[in-house]
Amino acid sequence: MDGFSYNNIFETKGIEYIIIIAFLLMIIPFWIAINRQVSLKSQISNAIGMLSESILRIPKGLLFNKNHTWVHLGKSGIAEVGIDDFLLHVTGELRFRELKKPGSFIRKGEMLAAADHNGKILKIYSPISGRVEKINLLLTETPAVVNDDPYEKGWICKIKPEGWTEETRSYFLADEALAWTKAELLRFKDFLAGSAMKYSPEASMVLLQDGGELCDRPLSGLPDEVWHDFQKSFLDMKG
Amino acid sequence: MNNNLTIARDNTGKPSWQFLISELKPKGKFLTPFNIISIPVMILGLILIVIRFWKGLGAITNLTQEVPWGLWIGFDVVTGVAFAGGAYVLTFMVYILNMQKYHSIVRITVLNGFLAYVFYAGALLLDLGRPWNVINPIIGNSFGTSSVLFLVAWHFLLYMIAQLIEFSPAIAEWLGAKRARKILSGMTIAAVIFGITLSTLHQSGLGALYLMCKDKIHPLWYSEFIPVLFFVSSIFAGLSMVIFEGSISHRVFFDQISEKNHKSHNGIITGLSKICAVAMFAYFFLQLLVFVHGRHWELLNTPMGYWYILEMAGFVLLPMALYFYSYRRQNVTLIKVAAVLTMLGVILNRLNVTVIGFKWAASVRYVPTWMEFAVTLAVIFAEIWIFRWVINRMPVLRESPSWVNEEN
């Protein structure tokens, strides 16, 4: 080869080797950077950004109470009881256990059921007193029902109420319910920023795993302590 | 399954021909904005196509003996096939790597890929001087085995068949043909493996077509590695198309998508954005390597050089960074922006090789006529019409009929 010299970096293809080595060296930090867990802060701010009242369903004809249950009194005098959309959006899919038996008597504020999300338990309290007439069998057969349709097919039980007027006086209806849900969302954002940050060291936290649900259901990946706090601040009976 | 849908329904017992005739009728609203725009364009396109076959290519195109391949090849065929690459990437991920997360979008992607091949490769016929000769490499009227076009012709044909088989269970479900569905879905995995093999070969094969034009293509875009570059870029071109098209059909056909698939949609898009970011990262280094290998430094400081830098920085590096950033931030809107930017970049790259950088120094440059653009647009609209027709009838986005799960 004429004029070939081992000192010429172009002729020895040295520069091409250097680029390939640079590529191999750079793909390592690139790969690490793209796979690092999405930081807790941006996950939480994402969750806060996504959870808005516009995605929550709040039917106008139901009475909502402060521990995130609803009641609806039908013509027959039997009231349906269920949990609200806020709770479902915050927690993710729930399964119900320890339901009250039909025929038994329940007082307002007594535990109606335990809602289980992957082993994390929330206690649901009854919003009214009365005799339990019926349990929704769909809940145990196809738990997805309550998640898709918490107000129609997803009722939890039917109760024959006693002292309805007195007990539901402070409950929210229609626009009041909407305003209250908005306030609850704000409160929940504060709660997330406070409690979630307190208990979850950043490394162990995965709110949004790769390919998991985005932003919706922020409690889903958080540790038991946060759920415990959530129970105290949002579900325990306050009247 | 959602039973409230009035538009989409599977055959439940009517004889097939009665069902087919009833399904041929238009459904839904007719005077939508899309229809109002697309119908005149398609009619115009049809008229132009008639003129083209009647009076010849010269009547409506600016193609000459010097520049025999224009917009119809460069955009419809070469770019369209790159965008159809999503089908082989996704079937590979779902059926070979078993990434079940992406299963809900396989059917729509395969349908999209299949129609893209039928229409855009079909548009090839418009560009052939003697289109009836297109079957020569198939029937053996001088095979022409030494030509890259021989490979491309066979691959297109076989790949269309493979994609049709991959999609055929949906057709069988629509017609209520239970036995046929069983047989066809048994063939899926074989068709997928066959299809992936073909895809990897002809995505690069299209690039190899341009190896013949060494002196005609601007040296910044010509290299002996065009096939490799075409293949690698088809990965993120196809996936960007999946993101883009998925976001649109998610809105247009929202009533057909189950709640579960609605919720997983964002997860799918962010997952794809990561793959795009990594593929583009590798693609950028390949381009850099090819550029250094070609040693055309001095050409960078010319108008074509600026154009080249714009393509690399603005439509490869920038969308890659956007994909990276939006994946990290889980920002779906930004991912869609990156997808659009990537698609523009792929169009730009393919046109740079096939039209813009082709005979770049000729005294009379080829510029497509408005009629060539109109025909291209008409082809795209026609594809979308068929796409919509199929989705409104077959279980592509909606769940399969209940008997499918009972059998398994």
Confidence of residue B238 (pLDDT cuts 50, 70, 90): very high
Mean pLDDT of B180-197: 90
A121: domain range?
56-174+230-235
* pLDDT surpassing 60 at residue A48: no
CATH code assigned at A92: 2.40.50.100
Q: What is the Cα–Cα distance from B117 to B140, expressed in whole angstroms? A: 22
**Residue length, chain A?**
239
pLDDT at residue A9 in the model: 75
Whole-number pLDDT of residue B240: 95
Going by pLDDT thresholds of 50, 70 and 90, the confidence category of residue B5 is very low
| B4 confidence band (pLDDT: 50, 70, 90) | very low
* Same-domain pairing of A94 and A12: no
* Mean pLDDT for the stretch of residues B218-234: 91
Rounded to 5 degrees, φ, ψ at A4 are -75, 135
* Residue A153 or B185, more confident: B185
Residues A69, A143 within the same domain:
yes
Whether residue B279 lies inside any domain: the answer is no
**pLDDT tier, B280 (very low <50, low <70, confident <90, very high otherwise):** very high
Q: Are A158 and A43 in contact (CB under 8 A)?
A: no
Q: Is residue B38 part of a domain?
A: yes
- Averaged pLDDT, B136-150: 82
Band of pLDDT at residue B320, cut at 50, 70 and 90: very high
> CB of B289 within 8 Å of any CB in chain A?
yes
Q: Number of structural domains, chain A?
A: 2
Question: Looking at per-residue confidence, does A160 or A49 come out higher?
Answer: A160
Mean pLDDT over all residues of chain B?
86
Is A150 part of any domain?
yes
| Residue B312 belongs to a domain | no
Interface contact flag, B324 A212, Cβ < 8 Å: no
Find chain B residues with C-beta within 8 A of A23's C-beta: 282, 285, 289
A63 shares its domain with A168: yes
Contacts of A216 in chain B (CB under 8 A): 263
| Whole-number pLDDT of residue B177 | 83
Domain region containing B45: 34-262+366-407
Contact list, B266 vs chain A (CB under 8 Å)? 213-215
Query: For B246-252, what is the mean pLDDT?
Result: 85
* pLDDT tier at B295, thresholds 50, 70, 90: confident
CA A50 to chain B, closest CA, distance in angstroms equals: 11
pLDDT of residue A238: 59
Q: Test B329 with A42 for CB contact under 8 angstroms.
A: yes
In-domain check, residue A3: yes
> Is A9 inside a domain boundary?
yes
- Note the pLDDT of residue B407: 58
The whole-number average pLDDT for the span B352-380 is 88
Q: What is the pLDDT of residue B286?
A: 93
State whether A63 and A161 are in the same domain.
yes
Contact A212 B327 (CB under 8 A): no
| Mean pLDDT of all residues in B10-16 | 68
Of the candidate ranges B22-26, B37-41, B215-219, B222-226, the one whose mean pLDDT is the lowest: B22-26
pLDDT tens per residue, range B322-363: 999 988 877 888 999 999 999 999 999 999 998 888 888 877
What region does B142 belong to: left with phi over 0, alpha with psi -120 to 50, or beta?
left
Chain A interface with B: residues with Cβ < 8 Å: 10, 15-16, 19-20, 22-23, 27, 30-31, 33-34, 36, 38, 42-43, 46, 148, 208, 210-216
Tell me if A27 and B329 make a contact (CB, 8 A cut-off). Answer: no
Residue A185 belongs to some domain of the structure: no
Whether A151 maps to a domain, the answer reads yes
Q: How confident is the model at residue A213 (pLDDT cuts 50, 70, 90)?
A: very low
The ipTM estimated for the assembled molecules is 0.71
Inter-chain CB proximity A214 and B270 less than 8 Å: yes
Residues A31 and A61 in one domain: no
**Domain shared by A80 and A27, yes or no:** no
Quote the mean pLDDT of chain A: 77
Q: Tell me: do A83 and A138 sit in the same domain.
A: yes
Tell me if A221 is assigned to some domain.
Answer: no
- Co-location of A27 and A110 in the same domain: no
**Per-residue pLDDT at A205:** 40
Answer whether residue A192 is part of any domain: no
Binning pLDDT at 50, 70 and 90, where does residue B3 land?
Answer: very low
Sign of CA dihedral B146, B149, B153, B156: positive
- Return the minimum-mean-pLDDT range out of A94-98, A111-115, B311-315: A94-98
d(CA B398, CA B94): 18
Q: Tell me, what's the pLDDT at A208?
A: 36
Q: What is the mean pLDDT of residues B377-388?
A: 92
What pLDDT, in 10s, does the model give residues B261-279? 776 787 788 889 999 999 9
For residue B104, the chain A residues in CB contact (below 8 A) are: none
Within 8 A of A22 by CB-CB distance, chain B residues are: 285
Q: Does residue A208 lie within any of the structural domains?
A: no
Top-confidence range, A200-209, B101-110, B310-319: B310-319
Q: Do the Cβ atoms of B278 and A10 come within 8 Å?
A: no
Residue B323 lies in a domain: no
Same domain, yes or no: A32 and A83: no
Distance from CA of A184 to the nearest CA of B (A): 23
Question: Residue B58: pLDDT above 70?
Answer: yes
The domain tally of chain B equals 1
Categorize the per-residue pLDDT at A41 as very low, low, confident or very high, splitting at 50, 70 and 90: low
Six-digit token string for A8: 């010429």
Residues of A in contact with B288 (CB under 8 A): 19
% of chain A beyond a pLDDT of 90 = 3
Q: Which of A67, A89, A107, A92 is nearest to A235 (CA)?
A: A67
CA distance A58 to A61: 9
Q: What angle do CA B111, B114, B119 make, to 5 degrees?
A: 120
**A88 with A139, same domain?**
yes
Mutant choice from B94, B100, B285 vs A, greatest count of A C-beta within 10 A:
B285
pLDDT category of residue B47 using cuts at 50, 70 and 90: very high
Residue-wise pLDDT for B296-311, tens only, equals: 888 888 989 999 999 9
pLDDT bucket at A49, cuts 50 / 70 / 90: low
pLDDT band for B73, please (50, 70, 90 cuts): confident
Q: Token pair of A165, please?
A: 């007027």
pLDDT surpassing 90 at residue A44: no
- Beta strand A111-117 pairing with A95-97: antiparallel
pLDDT at A154: 83
CB contact under 8 A, A148 and B295: no
Q: B40: pLDDT confidence band, cut at 50, 70 and 90? A: very high
Q: Domain check: are A63 and A137 in the same one? A: yes
Tell me: do A61 and A169 sit in the same domain. yes
| pLDDT greater than 60 at residue A167 | yes
Query: Does residue B401 form part of some domain?
Result: yes
pLDDT at A70 over 70: yes
The DSSP code sequence of chain A is -TT--TT-TTTTTHHHHHHHHHHHHHHHHHHHHHHSPPPHHHHHHHHHHH--GGGS---TTSEE-TTSEEEEE-TTS-EEEEE-HHHHHHH-S-EEESPPPTT-EE-TTSEEEEEEETTEEEEEE-SS-EEEEEE-THHHH-THHHHH-TTTTT--EEEEESSHHHHTTT-EEHHHHHHHHHHHHHHHHHHIIIIIHHH--GGG--SS-TTS--SS-TTTTS-HHHHHHHIIIIIS---
Share of chain B above pLDDT 90, in %: 39
pLDDT confidence bin for B9, thresholds 50/70/90? low
Residue B99 covered by a domain: yes
> Given a cut of 70, is residue B370 above it in pLDDT?
yes
Inform me whether the pLDDT recorded for A210 exceeds 50. Answer: no
